Amino acid sequence: MITRNPSLTDQVKAHIKDRIVNDGFADDRIPPEATLGEELGVSRTTIRDALAKLENEGAIYRKQGSGTFVNRPGLQIKSRLEEIWSYAKVLEDHGYTPSVSVISDVIVPADDETAAALAIEVGGDVVEIEKLFLEDDEPVVLTRNRIPASLLDADHSRDELPLYEFLDEYCDRRLTYYVSEIVPVAFNASQARKLHVKRGTVGLAFVEIGYDQTNEPIVYATSFFRDDLLRFRIIRRRAGA
Amino acid sequence: MITRNPSLTDQVKAHIKDRIVNDGFADDRIPPEATLGEELGVSRTTIRDALAKLENEGAIYRKQGSGTFVNRPGLQIKSRLEEIWSYAKVLEDHGYTPSVSVISDVIVPADDETAAALAIEVGGDVVEIEKLFLEDDEPVVLTRNRIPASLLDADHSRDELPLYEFLDEYCDRRLTYYVSEIVPVAFNASQARKLHVKRGTVGLAFVEIGYDQTNEPIVYATSFFRDDLLRFRIIRRRAGA
DNA sequence: TAGTGGTCTAGACCACTTC
DNA sequence: AAGTGGTCTAGACCACTAA
């Protein structure tokens, strides 16, 4: 049942990932590339492309001259920082069954900071949407997205959608990438109240600007995280090896 | 014993990176892969491997059917979170000329947390080294590394070395990867004094366990950052595209 | 020395974007 | 329709690791 799309490489990748998760390999050692190629009836290049993707995702690592191995610590990382696109998904990956609540959706004038981020005039209309992601009525993530009003349909009723789908639907813009800053904060009174913590509690924030395919800024977003409920982990490997 | 002949791919990669930084390309558009291959006299595969590495580092991006382009925001990111190996280097990349100061180097008994991290007995001997990274006498990063005493030579005089080189030299272990947590903190009295900030100031911390090639934990490290002087930025791209 | 992953070539066709 | 990056093949040799 070899078909195009998904690509052979992606099929091979899924197959190996599946074996890692379900069956496992002896000593966490993945068979040689030549062997895998014969087993699956594809060229070594295809195998290598698939392994490269898995390595990139942190699922495996390779040692020249030695072999290819399952990367146990990498498998434990649920949310890779570089590709977070839905906080609901992040919470799911951490074992929660989240709910989303839109707590405000208003038009405000852009302050200096927002105007600079979105490359619009100070005082220009900006749609500000605040959302809260909860687990069992306990808030975990608070997000505030600011989008130039000129980009948005006046009637954007389904605003509980993930932001990128929301923008796909209600603007003609496609959110392509974020530039994000990781900032430690002490929650102010308003944030603390929404997150059900004491004022001054320390948490993590992402302050980020989202761009479309033409490198135009289309959203200025700030997200606050309850450090006691959600913590980010990363794997750091030596660059040259 | 180092026979580091840069591969063709790495030479091509360096060449393109150089052109991006020094000359630039019209419209930030990088020539087609076929053209590059002819110009440099290498196969398209080699070009593609080089471009793949550059894409991985965030220096460029590709759009199928359209072309390959310089990734301006990606070029601004100095320190990629997944491959930070020397805080001195991090500060340099941010335009500082850092100095390092070892502020303590003592043997302490392992507390519960440290013992668990390093998989040793509670109360076992641990070498604790605190270092401060400064820019113009202003402290920016405070690190505390704890290493099982059994792994370390009693005489480790050159302990201002980057930790991974230090471990290479004074143990027989090679630091292979870290599992790191990103934690927001309010500095306590001791940390605040060392970092020259007020007690309770909010900052970022990495809490991490370093492993050797056999997946054995060899270092438990905590690093504190002055948020006003050093802030981490990342690019987040959509996963599927 | 045998076996592994790493590099490199030459060539074919596909999928998508742009005109 | 033309041009771009994406996928895939078959085969060669190199660099490193481990028995």
pLDDT digits (tens, 9 = 90+) for A163-195: 777 776 667 678 888 899 999 999 999 999 999
How much is the pLDDT for A47?
Answer: 97
The structure tokens listed for B71 are 């990734």
Does residue A43 approach strand D to less than 7 Å at its CB? yes
Q: How many CB atoms lie within 10 A of CB B129?
A: 22
- Given a cut of 90, is residue B163 above it in pLDDT? no
User: Can you name the residues that pair with A236 across neighbouring β-strands?
Assistant: B178
- Interface residue B21 vs chain A (CB under 8 A): no
Share of chain B above pLDDT 70, in %: 91
Q: How confident is the model at residue B241 (pLDDT cuts 50, 70, 90)?
A: very low
Single-letter amino acid code for the residue at B101 = S
Per DSSP bridges, beta strands B29-30 and A125-135 are unpaired
How much is the pLDDT for B2?
Answer: 30
d(CA A201, CA B59): 37
Instruction: Indicate the average pLDDT of chain A.
Output: 89
- Given a cut of 90, is residue A69 above it in pLDDT? yes
Single-letter amino acid code for the residue at B150 = S
In this predicted model, what pLDDT tens digit does every residue of A190-219 receive, in sequence order?
999 999 999 999 999 999 999 887 788 999
Inter-chain CB proximity A177 and B237 less than 8 Å: yes
Interface subset of B 211-230, CB within 8 angstroms of A: 211, 215, 227
Of the given ranges (A109-118, B7-16, B217-226, B228-237), which has the lowest mean pLDDT? B228-237
Query: Residue A107: is it exposed, middle or buried by C-beta count within 10 angstroms (0-12/13-18/19+)?
Result: exposed
Q: How many CB atoms lie within 10 A of CB A238?
A: 13
Using CB atoms, which residue from A84, A211, A234 is nearest to B82? A234
Question: Nearest nucleotide, C1' to the C-alpha of A32?
Answer: C4
Q: How confident is the model at residue A157 (pLDDT cuts 50, 70, 90)?
A: low
Single-letter amino acid code for the residue at B233 = R
Listed residue (B235, B95, B164) closest to A176, CA to CA = B235
At residue B177's C-alpha, the angle toward residues B163 and B5, to 5°, is 85
Does residue A30 approach strand C to less than 7 Å at its CB? yes
Q: What is the separation of C-alpha A106 from the centre of its chain, rounded to a whole number of angstroms?
A: 26
How much is the pLDDT for A19?
Answer: 95
- Which fold would CATH assign to domain A8-76? Arc Repressor Mutant, subunit A (1.10.10)
In this predicted model, what pLDDT tens digit does every residue of B171-184 receive, in sequence order?
767 888 899 999 99
d(CA A170, CA A145): 14
Every domain of chain A and the residues it spans: 8-76, 81-225
Inter-chain CB proximity B231 and A177 less than 8 Å: no
d(CA A68, CA A60): 7
Does residue B44 approach strand C to less than 7 Å at its CB? yes
How much is the pLDDT for B126?
Answer: 94
- Interface residue A161 vs chain B (CB under 8 A): no
d(CA B45, CA A48): 13
- Given a cut of 50, is residue A79 above it in pLDDT? yes
How much is the pLDDT for A5?
Answer: 67
Q: Give the pLDDT mean for B207-215.
A: 87
Does residue A91 approach strand C to less than 7 Å at its CB? no
Does residue A68 approach strand D to less than 7 Å at its CB? no
* A81-225 placed in CATH 3.50.50.60: no
Inter-chain CB proximity B239 and A85 less than 8 Å: yes
In this predicted model, what pLDDT tens digit does every residue of B19-77 receive, in sequence order?
999 989 999 999 999 999 999 999 999 999 999 999 988 899 999 999 999 998 888 88
Taking the model in full, what pTM does it have?
0.88
| Most A CBs within 10 Å, among B177, B219, B235, to test the A interface | B177
B67 CA to D12 C1' distance (Å): 31
Q: How confident is the model at residue A3 (pLDDT cuts 50, 70, 90)?
A: very low
Distances (CA, A) of A161 to A13, A139, A169, A170: 30, 18, 10, 11
Q: How confident is the model at residue A31 (pLDDT cuts 50, 70, 90)?
A: very high
A67 CA to D9 C1' distance (Å): 24
- Interface residue B175 vs chain A (CB under 8 A): yes
How much is the pLDDT for A73?
Answer: 86
Judging contacts by C-beta atoms under 8 Å, the chain A residues touching residue B176 are 237-238
B43 CA to C14 C1' distance (Å): 20
- Interface residue B69 vs chain A (CB under 8 A): no
Q: How confident is the model at residue B3 (pLDDT cuts 50, 70, 90)?
A: very low
Four-residue CA torsion sign, B87, B88, B92, B97: positive
Cβ-based neighbours of B186, under 8 Å, separated by 6 or more: A186, A202, B200, B201, B202, B203
Q: What share of chain B is helix, strand, coil (3-state, %, to 5)?
A: 35, 30, 35
Strand order in the sheet with A232-237: A232-237, B177-186, B202-211, B217-225, B138-148, B125-135, B99-109
Q: Nucleotide C16: nearest residue by CA–C1'? A: B65
Q: How confident is the model at residue B157 (pLDDT cuts 50, 70, 90)?
A: low
| Most A CBs within 10 Å, among B181, B236, B237, B238, to test the A interface | B236
B236 CA to C14 C1' distance (Å): 29
Does residue B64 approach strand C to less than 7 Å at its CB? yes
Using CB atoms, which residue from B73, B179, B234 is nearest to A233? B179
Does residue B127 approach strand D to less than 7 Å at its CB? no
- Given a cut of 70, is residue A16 above it in pLDDT? yes
In this predicted model, what pLDDT tens digit does every residue of B109-139 receive, in sequence order?
999 999 999 999 999 999 999 999 999 889 9
d(CA B36, CA B17): 13
Higher pLDDT, B155 or B103: B103
Per DSSP bridges, beta strands A177-186 and A202-211 are antiparallel
Strand order in the sheet with A138-148: A99-109, A125-135, A138-148, A217-225, A202-211, A177-186, B232-237
Q: How confident is the model at residue A94 (pLDDT cuts 50, 70, 90)?
A: confident
Backbone φ and ψ for B218, nearest 5 degrees, come out as: -125, -10
- Given a cut of 70, is residue A29 above it in pLDDT? yes
Cβ(A12)–Cβ(A40) below 8 Å = yes
- Interface residue B186 vs chain A (CB under 8 A): yes
How much is the pLDDT for A214?
Answer: 78
- Given a cut of 60, is residue A2 above it in pLDDT? no
Long-range contact list for A104-112, CB < 8 A, 24+ apart?
A: A104/A128, A104/A129, A104/A130, A105/A129, A105/A130, A105/A156, A105/A159, A107/A149, A108/A146, A110/A146
The structure tokens listed for A190 are 């308003």
The structure tokens listed for A94 are 């951490």
Instruction: Indicate the average pLDDT of chain B.
Output: 88
A30 CA to D13 C1' distance (Å): 24
Cα of B52 to nearest chain A Cα, Å: 11
How much is the pLDDT for B1?
Answer: 29
- Given a cut of 80, is residue A4 above it in pLDDT? no
Query: Residue B16: is it exposed, middle or buried by C-beta count within 10 angstroms (0-12/13-18/19+)?
Result: buried
> B8-76 with B81-225: one CATH topology?
no
